[in-house]
Chain A
Amino acid sequence: MRKLLFFIPLVFFLILGAVFYSQLGKDVQYMPSALVGKKVPNFTLVSLGDDQLYTHKDLPKTSYLINFWGTWCPACHVEHPFLMTLAQSGVPIIGIDYKDQKDSAEQWLEQKGNPYQMVLMDEMGNFGVDMGVTGAPESFVVDSSGVVVYRHQGVINAENWPDIQGYMK
């Protein structure tokens, strides 16, 4: 019986080892979004191009992507061609021009093409804060009932798209 007591440290070590091992390889930058499972927050934003006011009621009734981008963001340049292919394959993308200049954003879309069904300007970044955005590019999957089901931080590319696509219902 007393000899068993000597094994307590070993048992502790094994338990701790198992806990640490299960945490290995996890993305430490990953941060759960507080918005998943909630409706897209209410907004009133001006659209790029036609200067119209849009609200959350004007969002698509099907499943779609919300993509935060800006001409100031280097990774958005990397992401843009892939968004073009997505748009061509029929994925509805709502663009939020995040903390950007109207002129340079319009020029960007003219030169590189426009993958967005609608582009809204969030010049002050207030809608970004409401969505819990930490930077650009950042994308959200919204399902057909208007609920945010997934958030992706960083560039969408051919590698991670199948995972993201899985949430589009």
Chain B
Amino acid sequence: MMFIKGIFLVCGIWLSLSAVAQEQMAFRSELNKTRYQNLVEELRCPKCQNQNLADSNSGIAVDLREQVHQMIEQGKTDQEIVDYMVARYGEFVLYRPQHSTATFLLWYGPFILLGIGLVAFIFVVKISRKRRGRDE
């Protein structure tokens, strides 16, 4: 019994730790709060590189979260906020890169490879069928 209690306790502490990175913030509406949550998860922390703004405790992430919060409360659109960040930190801050010639291969490369694979597959199947037909 004590053992199970201990597990629950540890899980509880662990779950509450994951929420530590974020400050308490007041929002004018539930919608704004949801928008904030989405934005800080989509934007990458420029200092720590492999964390988003929501997860990071670095000074700059705290500042940028506050900036996102302010801009939302000022009535800026999501696109305006994203553009603001890209103008200062580059496309690097976007976890979902914009579609452009530079990111063309990134977005469509897998589909192109899939297409090539499919063509090769059909080609091989056709050849082997033809050969089997000849052998019989």
Contacts and interface: CB of A to CB of B under 8 A. Distances in A.
B46 A134 contact: yes
A120 interface: no
Contacts of A18: none
Contacts of A33: 90
A34 B58 contact: no
A34 B63 contact: no
Interface in B66-90: 67, 86-90
Q: Could you tell me the dominant secondary structure of chain A's interface residues?
A: loop
Contacts of B90: 31-34, 132
A9 to B, nearest CB: 12
Interface stretch (A51-59, A123-131, A139-147, A159-167): A123-131
Contacts of A132: 46, 88-90
Interface residues of B, number: 15
Given A31-B90, A34-B89, A125 B46 contact: no
B47 interface: yes
- Using C-beta atoms within 8 Å of the partner chain, give the interface range for chain A: 10 to 19
A125 B86 CA distance: 18
A135 B88 CA distance: 14
Interface string A37-48: 000000000000
B67 A129 contact: yes
Contacts of A129: 63-64, 67, 88
B6 interface: no
Contacts of A31: 46, 49, 90, 92
Interface string B34-59: 00000000000011010000000011
Nearest to B67: A129
A35 interface: yes
B119 interface: no
Contact of A135 (B60, B64, B86, B87): B60
Interface of B: 46-47, 49, 58-60, 63-64, 67, 86-90, 92
Given A31-B49, A129-B63, 7 more contacts: A31-B46, A32-B90, A34-B87, A34-B89, A99-B59, A132-B90, A134-B60
7 contacts: A33-B90, A34-B87, A125-B60, A128-B60, A129-B67, A133-B60, A135-B47
Interface of A: 29, 31-35, 99, 125, 128-135
